[in-house]
Amino acid sequence: MNDYASTDGFDFLGWHFYVQKSNGKFKSTPSVENFKAFRTKVKHIVNNSNYGASTKVSKLAPIVRGWRNYHKYCKMDGSRFSLWNLAHRTFKTFLKTKTINRYQAEEKVKIVFPSVGYSENSFNNVKGDKSPFDGDINYWSKRNSILYDGYTARTLRKQSHSCGHCGLKFLDNEKVELHHIDNNHNNWKANNLLAIHSSCHHYIHMSKSRKDPGFRKLDTRKRVRPDFTERGER
């Protein structure tokens, strides 16, 4: 690596990698372009007069949470990456809404900008000479489960890193989703959650929809073409 690369670093996949001059340690932060794009997206929603406060919250929360989770292994200290300025700007915008008081505005900002911890360079390294092609489904299923946190991580550990619906292990390219057994998405009790494949989740809800009286079943009966030969038609 040349001197320029070792000091100024380089950008890759939204991250900026560099070696700290003072101690030679490897560091990474969100890249300038990535942060600008994220900030622009947030400001566009915050400043959109067509959205009410509740709509802004529902649109902003997943964007902010997703951005913070993506960069949770970066160096995220300081006011810039803590998003204090964006949060304060959003708070002042919420206060302009006549139906929202200061307390309600603060609560909405907490939802939009949730606290997401970060641990610099705490990547989940691959063990020894393991390979995704070595057929060790147990190892890779358990390792991929570490990539999740919160309720999903706890539920995966409880289920021994297997799907709560079909019982199969989770492979590398399979998304894990949380299913609420009682269909109440506000019930986050451990005994009401199942970590399952995305396809299994879809199947469960499709099955429930078919049992719903309002579900319209498609007519799959074979259509018989009428015979017009007796009428002299072809």
Q: Please give the DSSP secondary-structure letter assigned to residue 113.
A: S
Give the pLDDT of residue 98.
Answer: 84
Contacts of 65 (CB under 8 A, 6+ apart): 114, 116
Spacing of C-alpha 40 from chain mean position = 20
The C-alpha atoms of residue 98 and residue 138 are separated, in whole angstroms, by 55
The C-alpha atoms of residue 76 and residue 64 are separated, in whole angstroms, by 14
Mind listing the pLDDT tens digit for each residue in 136-189?
656 666 666 666 667 888 888 888 888 889 988 877 667 788 899 988 888 888
First to last CA, the chain: 78
Give the pLDDT of residue 93.
Answer: 92
pLDDT tens for the chain, residues 1 to 234: 444 444 678 999 998 988 888 777 888 889 999 999 999 999 999 999 899 999 999 999 989 988 988 888 888 877 778 888 999 999 999 988 888 899 999 999 999 988 777 777 666 667 777 676 666 656 666 666 666 667 888 888 888 888 889 988 877 667 788 899 988 888 888 899 999 988 899 888 887 665 555 434 433 344 444 444 444 444
The C-alpha atoms of residue 82 and residue 16 are separated, in whole angstroms, by 17
Q: Please give the DSSP secondary-structure letter assigned to residue 59.
A: H
Give the pLDDT of residue 219.
Answer: 39
Give the pLDDT of residue 136.
Answer: 66
Global pTM?
A: 0.54
Strand pairing class (176-180; 15-19): unpaired
The C-alpha atoms of residue 157 and residue 174 are separated, in whole angstroms, by 17
Given the structure tokens 């929809």, which residue do they identify? 209
Give the pLDDT of residue 41.
Answer: 94
The C-alpha atoms of residue 147 and residue 106 are separated, in whole angstroms, by 31
